[in-house]
Amino acid sequence: MNISRCRIIAVGKVRKRWVQEGVELYLKRLPGLCITEVRDSTRDRESEAIRQALRPDELPVMLMEQGTPLSSVKFAARLEGFGSERLAFVIGGADGLTDFLKSSARWQLSLSPMTFPHELARLLLLEQLYRAQSILQGSPYHRA
pLDDT of residue 144: 66
Q: What 3-state DSSP class applies to 75?
A: helix
- Residue 15 scores a pLDDT above 90: yes
Q: How confident is the model at residue 116 (pLDDT cuts 50, 70, 90)?
A: confident
Could you tell me where the beta strands, DSSP code E, fall in 92-143? 107-110
Domain boundaries, the chain: 3-137
- Residue 4 scores a pLDDT above 80: no
Position 125, amino acid: L
Q: Is 0.85 topped by the overall pTM?
A: yes
Q: How confident is the model at residue 99 (pLDDT cuts 50, 70, 90)?
A: very high
Whether domain 3-137 has CATH 3.40.718.10: the reply is: no
Element (H, E) at 120: helix 118-137
**Cα separations (Å) of 112 from 28, 30, 84, 101, 105?**
25, 22, 27, 20, 18
Per-residue pLDDT of 18-44, as tens digits, reads 999 999 999 999 999 999 999 999 999
Buried b (16+ CB within 10 A) or exposed e, 80-108: eebeeeebbbbbbbeebbbeebbebbebb
